Structure 1
Amino acid sequence: MTVYSKIIGTGSYLPQQRVTNHDLAAQLGAKGIETSDEWIVSRSGISARHYAAPAENASDLAVHAARRALEAAGLEAEQIDLIVVATSTPDYHGNFPSTACVVQNKLGLRNNCAAFDLGAVCSGFVYAMSTADAFIKAGNAKNVLVIGTEVFSRILDFDDRSTCVLFGDGAGAVVMTASDEPGVLAVKLHADGSHGDILCGPRNPANAAVAVAGGSYLYMDGPAVFKLAVSVLEKVANEALEHAGMASSEIDWLIPHQANLRIMNGTAKKLGLPAEKMVVTVQEHGNTSAASIPLALDLAVRDGRIRPGQNILMEGVGGGFTWGAVLARM
């Protein structure tokens, strides 16, 4: 019997603090940096984002999203035998222990299930789903908790309006399980390290205290990222469709990484999909990196747009440079 992996539960979480463009404009304006709601919206489509509280870490956001996904799946945490966390903002410097292990502990899991982090930045959730799919199809896991969680507000330079207005914090999760019904239909992943310098996090000097005191931050070459993203997203989407033997007209919902509305609209147009078939949350969440796709997925599942049997195409592009797509049937 052929074994498939299938999404059976979704969950998400946004920190309590909501920061609007007007809030940011006032904060930056006090330092003599000019920006406005109109400037931010016209370039990105973003109107607001959420920031984690000082005591909240990526694992805390992840646990909230995970519990909601487990509840939706009708599973207890003890039934999970693998946790994969996609994050670029882990709880610990050097990422050990992994955020996945911290999440495992906070969920009260004592069954020694495997747990690890995966780093592919904004493509992280797609990469993590692909990993879970492979574990399930190989018979090495039955129920997998896949989480994207980020606290990007911790690595933003609030003297740089070109980046600090774009990112936010949040977490999203899915439970994937072994099924005899088709779930994940196709996966395509790519990376090109030669573009690693156009979007990167803080450098890691030998002395960690220097990194904190020196205030290293996320760096992004916006125009270069935009150009590359537009180029690769259409291609990887078509690769996934071709692998599954499907046409773009068979896609019920497109869930792209929520980074920039212009990139998202451009991808949908190239695929011949009407805007009504694309799930959009970037206006409220900003760019939440690995959390953006599962945040959008959970919203559309819970508001009834996404229904069982529908085909969804999830795709992301991020630092590395990485990109990928997962085509799945709900």
Structure 2
Amino acid sequence: MNIKITGTGSYIPGTIEKNENFNSHHFLNTDGSPINSENTVIIEKFKAITGIHERRYAEEHLTSSDLGFFAAKKAISDAKINPEELDYIIVAHNFGDVKHNTLQSDLLPCLASRIKHSLRIKNPKCVAYDILFGCPGWIEGVIQAQAFIKAGMAKKCLVIGTETLSRVVDKYDRDSMIYSDGAGATVIEATEEEGGILAHETASYTYDEAYYLFFGNSNNQELCKDTRYIKMDGRKIYEFALTNVPNAMKSCLEKSGTSINDIKKILIHQANEKMDEAIIKRFYKLYKMNPPTDIMPMSIDKLGNSSVATVPTLFDLIKNNKLENHSLTKGDVIIFASVGSGMSINAIVYKY
């Protein structure tokens, strides 16, 4: 028995927010002082580091569970299964449903229950729950689905990553330009077909690193102190990722028994173009090699960082030949990898 992704789907919001749309923003330092640079300069530096020149925001009437539902419908259709056959629906997110122009997060009921309701699944034995694991949430959901199937507790699982980060950002913070909205979904099944999940690796570093990403006050000191926004220590995250993600990928690859030379693609969380490039270089350096030029597909330039949605969306795009110069052929070995709040990292070696 092998455990494979048999269906994929994604939802990419239609609202495009280009870099130039931030020209009128009033960016401030963390202490509330003005930044001594024109916005055009700030934005140009931002693009050079992150690779982002536009991102997607959810339509005003939609929430994270809506986006996840749209992606889930596509994944179920792609897998050609009856949704009533699903044993688990696992939804990775960070902030629940946040309605447009509101600040309160809504998690009652959980997003997985909402998506199951929207899918009109009657089967009560289809268990729906959420997972909070930062940006690596979708990968961790796949790892959990695999565990359920291996244990004989499930045959078919739906794993979704969905987020509307644009609704929890501080518009006075330059980092707000990184974040975006979107959803990706996958059906995971036990199958007699060759391939599937070959190995996985997960770790959480919390002793010193737990609060590298956190909820904090606006850079605008005049705003309500009780309102929180997503914040990060970018330098510490960069250094953490560069050390720990390549090591996790190497450990995972060794568990799989696969040669580094057999890796066709590495689908890494779309966090920051320069950071992702540095992670891949560091990974190959562990093998005293340089990375192949086409090893790392990127979508962050147009889609931004949608957290848990980046990896499944990237996989869906490549699988459906919607990402220029990247494709997959049956038998190709790929690595999924991510890093995010907690601080957590994970990886999967997967044979397509």
**Normalising to structure 1: TM-score of the pair?**
0.91
Percent identity for Structure 1 against Structure 2: 31
Measured in 2, the distance between the counterparts of 1:197 and 1:213 equals 19
5 Å-filtered alignment, 1:145-184, equals 145-161=158-174, 163-180=175-192, 181-184=194-197
> What is the aligned counterpart of 1:17 among 15, 18, 40?
15
SS of aligned partner of 1:66 = helix
Is the Cα–Cα contact under 8 Å of residues 150 and 291 in structure 1 kept in the other structure?
yes
> What is the aligned counterpart of 1:201 among 212, 215, 224?
215
SS of aligned partner of 1:280 = coil
Measured in 2, the distance between the counterparts of 1:133 and 1:26 equals 47
Offset of residue 264 of structure 1? 1.3
Measured in 2, the distance between the counterparts of 1:174 and 1:294 equals 7
Measured in 2, the distance between the counterparts of 1:202 and 1:76 equals 43
Measured in 2, the distance between the counterparts of 1:25 and 1:247 equals 47
Q: Which moved more, 1:184-193 or 1:69-78?
A: 69-78
* 2:345 corresponds to 1:323: yes
Between the two proteins, the alignment pairs up a number of residues equal to 318
Is the Cα–Cα contact under 8 Å of residues 5 and 179 in structure 1 kept in the other structure?
yes
In terms of fraction of residues, the more helix-rich structure is 1
| Alignment correspondent of 2:204 | 191
Which stretches in structure 1 are left out of the alignment for 5+ residues? 204-210
Offset of residue 267 of structure 1? 2.0
Q: Rate the CA distance shift 1:126–1:39 in 2: closer, same or farther, 3 A.
A: same
Measured in 2, the distance between the counterparts of 1:107 and 1:202 equals 35
* 2:259 corresponds to 1:261: no
Measured in 1, the distance between the counterparts of 2:184 and 2:312 equals 5
Which stretches in structure 2 are left out of the alignment for 5+ residues? 28-33, 99-104, 218-222, 285-289
Offset of residue 228 of structure 1? 0.4
5 Å-filtered alignment, 1:32-111, equals 34-36=38-40, 37-91=43-97, 93=105, 95-111=107-123
Question: Which letter maps to 2:154?
Answer: A
| Alignment correspondent of 1:308 | 330
Offset of residue 325 of structure 1? 0.2
* 2:288 corresponds to 1:288: no
| Alignment correspondent of 1:249 | 261
SS of aligned partner of 1:317 = strand
Q: Rate the CA distance shift 1:70–1:280 in 2: closer, same or farther, 3 A.
A: same
Deviations 1:189-213 (A, max 9, x none): 000112111112359xxxxxxx998
Deviations 1:244-291 (A, max 9, x none): 111221111100000111111112223242231211101111111111
**Normalising to structure 2: TM-score of the pair?**
0.86
Measured in 1, the distance between the counterparts of 2:106 and 2:78 equals 33
| Alignment correspondent of 1:274 | 292
Measured in 2, the distance between the counterparts of 1:168 and 1:212 equals 24
Q: Larger C-alpha radius of gyration, 1 or 2?
A: 2
* 2:316 corresponds to 1:298: yes
* 2:129 corresponds to 1:116: yes
SS of aligned partner of 1:201 = strand
Q: Rate the CA distance shift 1:76–1:28 in 2: closer, same or farther, 3 A.
A: farther
Question: Which letter maps to 1:35?
Answer: N
| Alignment correspondent of 2:220 | none
Measured in 2, the distance between the counterparts of 1:98 and 1:307 equals 37
SS of aligned partner of 1:9 = strand
Measured in 1, the distance between the counterparts of 2:308 and 2:243 equals 20
Q: Which moved more, 1:305-314 or 1:289-298?
A: 305-314
Deviations 1:285-313 (A, max 9, x none): 11111111011111111117022221110
Measured in 1, the distance between the counterparts of 2:54 and 2:180 equals 9
